[in-house]
Amino acid sequence: MADHDAPRTALTAGDSSEEMQALHGSPDTAAIDADENDLGATFELPGSDLLDEELIVAVVPMMADEFRCTRCFLVRHRSQQATAGHELCRDCS
């Protein structure tokens, strides 16, 4: 068990490479033997069971009392317009 409150030992220029490896461990001890292509095989995205379903969305044309904000491109009611003559909503102004 490691004492996390103990002071760390600092490496000096005179330390041998064996002492350095003993302090830091060998670089191949933490190597993972896994293929990059196999990592995604077990991971499943949420909602992936809905990929084969067809989505039906009704598209409604923009009404006369609406405008499209030139910054966020959302369609808003004219009451949300920041200033008359400028096509910016209150959130973007």
Count of positions (residues) in the chain:
93
- The C-alpha atoms of residue 75 and residue 84 are separated, in whole angstroms, by 16
Give the global pTM. 0.41
Percent of the chain residues topping a pLDDT of 90: 32
Instruction: Kindly report, residue by residue over 38-69, the tens digit of the pLDDT.
Output: 666 677 777 777 777 788 899 999 999 999 99
pLDDT of 10 over the 80 cut = no
- The C-alpha atoms of residue 75 and residue 62 are separated, in whole angstroms, by 7
Kindly indicate the confidence band of residue 79, based on its pLDDT and cuts at 50, 70 and 90.
very high
Tell me the backbone φ, ψ of residue 15, rounded to 5 degrees.
-70, 140
Domain borders along the chain are 60-93
Any alpha helices (H) in 1-93, and if so which ranges? 17-24, 36-39
Q: What integer pLDDT is reported at residue 58 of this predicted model?
A: 92
